[in-house]
Structure 1
Amino acid sequence: MKMPWSREAVRILPTKIDLTGQPWYRNALLLHVRGNGALRWETRALPPEADYYESARCLTLRSTPLLSGHFAAWETSESRLCTGWGLDTAECPELDALRETLNGGFARLEDAVPALSPLLELLPEGVYVLAESDAYPTDGDGQFFWDVPDRLKICSATALVCLVDDDYDYNYECLPPVFLYPSQRRSRLDMERVEYYRTRFQQDGSLPHGIALYVGAGGMSVLLDGHHKAAAAALLGRTLPCLTVLPLGYYRLDNPKQSACFGPIVVPVEDISGVKLPKEPWRYTKGSGPLPEGRLEDAELPEALLAAGNRYPTAEGYALVSAAEIGYPTDRELETWLTDPGLYRPQLRGALVVLRSRGDPRLKDTALRCAAVGDAHCSLKTEAFQVLAELKGDPDVEAFFIDYFVILEEPSSVHGSAQDYLTQIAHSFWD
């Protein structure tokens, strides 16, 4: 079933979004949506035991809860999320209408907007960013994205990540929306459908996409369509191509820059021409009653999918990628960084995270060369040791660790707490 594109309801604004320093986005558009608000955030009542500085919000579609949470007031604090009732209980023919475009691909992001229009019209009226990027099928805490409970649980991916080590001095890193939260009941999992998408991902040509809505905190989005695609990506150890809708979070008019923020994407207010910005974009529709209990945890997930979540970065790990402002590293970039690891430590630390998450064959050589840096107190060396310790049975890695222990036995070798920690990691290779 196809639905017409109402150009008055969904308009692409003539604004070139600057994605400099954000290589995880391939493209992004600024949209003005005159929607009906059927898909919206609602405030709910906080229970007496909740933190005073939290707010209870629920994402609903035609009054059906899709995701709930106790959201922290401060960006540096983690929020607690809870599942909803499942998209199938909300009746959303708009998603069926756009699935052909999501599965078949599109030459340009602009070409996808007509098919997305019926879904976008469900949002409240306002300005949004539609971004194309890759998402990890994980919750940012090392779990497969669908493996979340029906009760409130702290989610690390909903806050700024503080980096404190030899490369970063209390850097609070804002994550792009690369982590996913489910909106479908587990019992709707169809492994035949997963296998179909696994085959599609291994073929040449346009790749199937998912579509997600940014939660508005940290690096988390709720997946509206693409659960089977995300499961297929997990089994292959790859990312899910995803279109993410980011609502306007806030804007500043009290400084010369006058910028509007859509998660990590910043747009100059002067570039949002001809559109009246809401006075308080952070205000939500007031709902009634407490947060509803979740209903997605209604079946067991296959062990292969549960185990797949372990290979992807956590929120803390991906912060290293975000802070280094790197994308998927090319051979040339890796070789440049590896010629002077001391100069390019942030880039190499981020590269280890990305290469590991994709099962990239370049991971071993990169980790071996990073592990050979001289300073035992170096975070890059420690992280390279941890990567190598996971490559159990590899003869090259085993030879490296044997050489490491031989050097330790030499009389001139100096021991300390950092060296002892490296030794523990090296021993774990044989555990």
Structure 2
Amino acid sequence: MFFGKNKEKLSVESVDVKVDTFEMINIKDSRVVYINGAGKLKTFFSDGYYPTKIRLNGIPLVRINSPYCPTSNSLLATGYGIENANCQELMEIQKEINADFISLENSIKAMEPLLKLFETGFYLIAEAECYPTDGNGNFFWNIPNEFTDSPATGLAYLEDSDTYCVFNQPVYLYPTQTTDCYNEERVKYYINKFNNADNNEPRAIVYNFGGFINFIIDGHHKACAAALLGKSLKCLLIIKGEYSKNYGEDNQIFLNFLSSNIRKEDIPIKYQPFLKEKEKNWGSILINEGTVNKRQWENKYTNSSKKYPSLIEYATKVDDLIYDSIEITDKLINHCLTNFDENSQIKARKIFNNLEFLNVEKAKDFAVRYVKASLKQEISSKLKLVIYNFLVNIKNNTEVEQIFIDYIVYNEDRDDTVLELVNSYWK
């Protein structure tokens, strides 16, 4: 059995174990903790082993209707609003968590009152960058209250890759707070903070429940500010560890954090007895409809999702970086700047995705050279969107501005999907 739920024994302990999060490209740093928790924030199951709702102090935050096939999409619906959960612990940490970021360790310490509300078990707490969209073209807070298919809960299938599919990439966001709490002045406050921060801006707190999607525990206004700025949102990402066992010859036991696995023998001996299959929380509660989204969102918000990669675009980026990477050489770059057939365009995309991840300045140089060289060539709109989405965020740059002017002048297709993006550069 795990530790008892005696309130005096609730604790958050750092576990000295390394986790390889290389495959989750949005994670920058991470720590494993063992929480002896009160179980006030947990997932309830019904009708098999598929989650049906996540509750905080008994209040449903998110509802999930999962198919029997774990590789298929789930239906998501909102709950009753996290502000109605009467969570004093969340209020207790507001001052520290909304202050400038110092370090991951400092943030974990500040979050302890909240973390002690979780179910007992192992958790990965990570610095991560997430997008304020659901990965399906919607601003994160502008989602239906009723059950709706959510592609970000399943696998991303890639047509032109040997990888076939990508999964378990915790990058998109889902709300838990009702829009009644929206405060425009608070959004303006965070826009100012983000514009004047040097990587120390306050972090949002998000919790992953599988696939590509995380729900926001704290940080809805931070996410709004990021959306208006067209930036990713820096988050403190919480991922619950899951027990798994290889029933082959070695009967190996693992602790899984989405795409990262730790063998039992690599965990400190002190914690190994607590690595075992946990009983599911069973319980049902009838909810006719959620109440989170009650607002008519302005175009500046609803259009913000265009600034971020869709599920397939992000999965393609992961595939290019992790599963189907290429060696970038000057010879390959020069080839892609002089050849624009389909295969060369795929290589150009891989070059750009890798450079954007590894060296932003080199990515900028390649993007500028590529769009100049390919201006009068037949280039796929998907590739153009990837590169022009990057360039549109480089403001007050005469070279980039001239690139966009040239695109408008030479473009004869007024319905071109890239044209709207190019025109937005001056807004």
TM-score, normalized by the shorter chain, greater than 0.5: yes
Structure 2 residue runs without a partner (length 5+): 1-6, 323-327, 337-343, 393-400
8 Å contact from structure 1 (residues 178, 220) kept in 2: yes
2:207 is equivalent to residue 213 of structure 1 = yes
Deviation at 1:150, TM superposition (A): 0.6
Q: TM-score, normalised by structure 1?
A: 0.78
2:238 matched residue in structure 1: 245
User: Does 1:201 find its partner at 2:194?
Assistant: yes
Q: Secondary structure at the match of 2:314?
A: helix
In 1, are the aligned partners of 2:139 and 2:303 still within 8 Å (CA)?
yes
Secondary structure at 1:221 match in 2: strand
C-alpha deviations, 1:112-137, integer Å up to 9, x for none?
22211111111111111001110100
Match of 1:139 among 124, 129, 134: 134
**Cα-to-partner distance string for 1:369-410 (whole Å, 9 max, x where unaligned):** 685799x7xxx84523455898899332246657xxxxxxxx
1:365 aligns with: 368
1:396 aligns with 406
Contact 1:371 1:385 in 2 (8 A): no
Offset, 1:174: 1.6
1:278-427 aligned at under 5 Å gives the runs 278-281=275-278, 283-291=279-287, 293-325=289-321, 338-341=333-336, 342=344, 344-345=347-348, 347-348=350-351, 350=353, 365=368, 368=371, 371=374, 381-386=380-385, 394-398=404-408, 401=411
**How big is each residue's C-alpha offset from its partner over 1:41-98, in whole Å with a ceiling of 9 and x where there is no partner?**
11246xxxxxxx8945110011100000102333431111000100111011212222
Letter in 2 for 1:280: E
Could you tell me whether the CA contact under 8 Å between 1:103 and 1:208 is conserved in 2?
A: yes
Q: List per-residue Cα deviations over 1:104-161 (Å, max 9, x = no partner).
A: 2343211222211111111111111001110100011011000111100011111111
What's the secondary structure of 1:104's corresponding residue? Answer: coil
How many residue pairs get matched? 382
What is the alpha-carbon distance in structure 1 between the residues aligned to residue 312 and residue 254 of structure 2?
Answer: 27
Give the whole-Å Cα distance in 1 for the aligned partners of 2:155 and 2:373: 27
**Structure 1 residue 265 and structure 2 residue 260: aligned?**
yes
Equivalent position to 2:79, from 66, 80, 84: 84
Whichever residue aligns with residue 365 of structure 1, its letter is V
1:301 Cα deviation (Å)?
Answer: 2.2
Q: Distance in 2 between matches of 1:185 and 1:118?
A: 23
The CA deviation string for residues 212-255 of structure 1, in whole angstroms up to 9 with x for no partner, is 1111x211010000000000000000011001110113423435
Q: Are the aligned partners of 1:213 and 1:245 in contact in 2 as well (CA < 8 Å)? A: yes
1:67 maps to a residue whose letter is: V
Residue aligning to 2:396: none
Question: Could you state the TM-score of these two structures normalised by the residue count of structure 2?
Answer: 0.78
Residues 395, 11 of structure 1: alpha-carbon distance in 2 compared, 3 angstrom cutoff = same
* Cα distance in 1 for residues equivalent to 2:376 and 2:245: 44
Task: Write the distance in 2 (CA, Å) between the matches of 1:197 and 1:41.
Answer: 31
- From 126, 135, 138, the equivalent of 2:121 is 126
RMSD (CA atoms): 3.6
Match of 2:21 in 1: 19
Q: Is this contact kept in 2: 1:320–1:350, CA < 8 A?
A: no
Structure 1 residue aligned with 2:159, among 143, 160, 164?
164
Deviation at 1:30?
0.6
**Residues 35/147 of structure 1: CA separation in 2 closer, same or farther (3 Å cut):** same
Comparing 154-163 with 341-350, which one deviates more in the overlay? 341-350
1:161–1:173 contact (8 Å) kept in structure 2:
yes
Aligned to 1:234: 227
Instruction: Give, as a single letter, the amino acid of the residue that structure 2 aligns with 1:182.
Output: P
Aligned residue in 2 for 1:31:
33
